[in-house]
């Protein structure tokens, strides 16, 4: 008898901000928790999140996620009126917040959300301190990506 196969677990990543990787040089990453409501957790489990236009706002010593769209499920939100674009508080340690604030104020970085995922049953947001890319950097990134694609095609043919 062979070994029993493990059941496939779905990917823990709920949403990614691909635009952030294209527009910024991502320097330092932080893992932040999210203050969510019940309907938002159910929607995240279904994968109904979008980070493409999201950004991090730093205010009063706290960090907030703005512009992230979490679509409500019709069955999960019957007794409340959900707001898919509401601001959500990020849960970070004081030292991490201090590092992010100093990077944004002194060093000219910006704070961008990179991906939203599950970790041990909790929703986590990967945020990064990032510097904006120049136009020639973006072209170089595209050129490198195209070359890697072409290289893979050539290797498959042989």
Looking at 3.30.1180.20, 3.40.50.720, 2.40.280.10, 3.40.50.300, the CATH number of the domain 13-157 comes to 2.40.280.10
Q: Looking at residues 131-148, what average pLDDT do you find?
A: 83
3-state SS class at 145: helix
Per mean pLDDT, which of 11-25, 42-56, 130-144 is the most reliable? 42-56
User: For residue 8, what pLDDT is reported?
Assistant: 46
What are the residues whose beta carbons fall under 8 Å from the beta carbon of 107, sequence distance 6 or more? Answer: 129
User: For residue 12, what pLDDT is reported?
Assistant: 87
Q: Which two tokens stand for residue 56?
A: 């991090």
Residue 132, H or E segment: strand 122-132
Please report, for the chain, the start and end positions of each structural domain, with discontinuous segments joined by +.
13-157
CA atoms within 13 A on the CB side of 93: 5
């Amino acid at each position: 008898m062979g070994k029993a196969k493990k059941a496939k677990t779905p990917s823990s990543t709920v949403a990614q901000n691909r635009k952030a990787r294209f527009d910024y040089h991502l320097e330092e990453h932080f893992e932040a928790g999210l203050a969510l409501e019940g309907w938002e957790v159910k929607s995240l489990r279904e994968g109904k999140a979008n980070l493409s236009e999201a950004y991090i706002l730093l205010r009063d010593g706290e960090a907030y996620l703005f512009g992230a769209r979490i679509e409500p499920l019709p069955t999960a939100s019957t007794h409340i009126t959900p707001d898919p674009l509401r601001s959500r508080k990020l849960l970070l340690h004081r030292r991490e917040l201090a590092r992010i604030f100093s990077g944004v104020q002194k060093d000219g970085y910006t704070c961008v959300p990179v991906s939203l995922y599950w970790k041990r049953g909790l929703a986590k947001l990967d945020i990064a301190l990032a510097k904006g890319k120049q136009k020639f950097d973006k072209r170089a990134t595209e050129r490198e990506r195209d070359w890697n694609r072409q290289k893979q095609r050539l290797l498959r043919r042989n």
